[in-house]
Structure 1
Amino acid sequence: MTVSQESKSPSELIDGRIKELGDWRGDMLGRLRALIHQADPDVVETWKWRGVPVWEHDGMICTGETYKSVVKLTFAKGAALPDPARLFNSSLDGNTRRAIDFQKGEEVNEDAFKALVRAAVALNKSKGRK
């Protein structure tokens, strides 16, 4: 990480990632980020590992990674979340995480996605809280 990156907030680093992608992946990541904020206005953005956007509220909600052909949102406790719209389509074999791979041109079920984010926040709040 350069000195200039160290002085930036996680939100500024995420802004930079979206801009640097400069294609449908940046647009998709920005759109999903906006939906996360709509679902949970108190969400906290962090920047972890080797430059991965992370959204947290009383614990990790999800990470947002970009690859050549997908934007992957991995929900830290996805296996424990209700998913009636069957959004999870990746990382289905593990006992804890679940992911959604979004491809170019794919429609986002916004209501179902926001419900998933709210369920993740509710699960985080229920763990170890009074």
Structure 2
Amino acid sequence: MDCTKDPRVDHYIDALPPWQQAICRQVRDLVHATDPDVAETIKRTVQPYFVLDGNICALLAAKDHVNVFMYDGGIVPDPHGIITAGHTNKTARTVAFREGEAVNEEALGEMFRAIIANNRAGGWRKLKGAE
């Protein structure tokens, strides 16, 4: 994969249990594969974020799951029903993965592409305000 990876994100992922590392690496690779211009950074001191004209998603490993925060203002459709929390959140919704659960790359990739398209169109706040 031809993308620039932030060593601080590597450090975050490498400190996790192996099953969480695998999920985080899979999500990381997927978001980069969605668009070659996606950049990664650390925000909130330690949290990996993936950005392109605004936030796309962030990773946060918890004790028994990995959260992928989708920064879409709740406007990106979820036809596969992968959102697990934050349905009424005004900023981000969550897809949580537990040990042994498969990442639905098709569904997650569709959401990443939609978020990136919205970011390039001015961001979900602008788009949501136009409704």
Q: Normalized against structure 2, the TM-score is what?
A: 0.85
Give the gaps of 5 or more residues in structure 2.
127-131
CA change 1:72–1:27 in 2 (3 A) is same
Identity of aligned residues (%): 32
SS at match of 2:74: helix
RMSD of aligned alpha carbons: 1.8
Q: Describe the superposition over 1:33-56 as per-residue Cα deviations: whole angstroms up to 9, x where unpaired.
A: 011111112101010112000000
Corresponding residue of 1:73: 68
SS at match of 2:82: coil
**Contact 1:17 1:26 (C-alpha < 8 Å) held by counterparts:** no
Q: Describe the superposition over 1:1-22 as per-residue Cα deviations: whole angstroms up to 9, x where unpaired.
A: xxxxxxxx97101111111114
Of 29, 32, 35, 2:30 maps to: 35
Corresponding residue of 1:46: 41
Aligned-partner residue type, residue 101 of structure 1: A
Give the gaps of 5 or more residues in structure 1.
1-8
**Contact 2:59 2:69 (C-alpha < 8 Å) held by counterparts:** yes
Runs in 1 of length 4+ with deviation above 6 angstroms? none
Aligned residues: 121
SS at match of 1:79: coil
Q: Give the Cα–Cα distance (whole angstroms) in 1 for the partners of residues 24 and 73 of structure 2.
A: 19
Corresponding residue of 2:87: 92
Of 63, 69, 73, 2:58 maps to: 63
How big is the shift at 1:23? 1.8
Q: Which has the higher helix share?
A: 1
Of 103, 117, 123, 2:98 maps to: 103
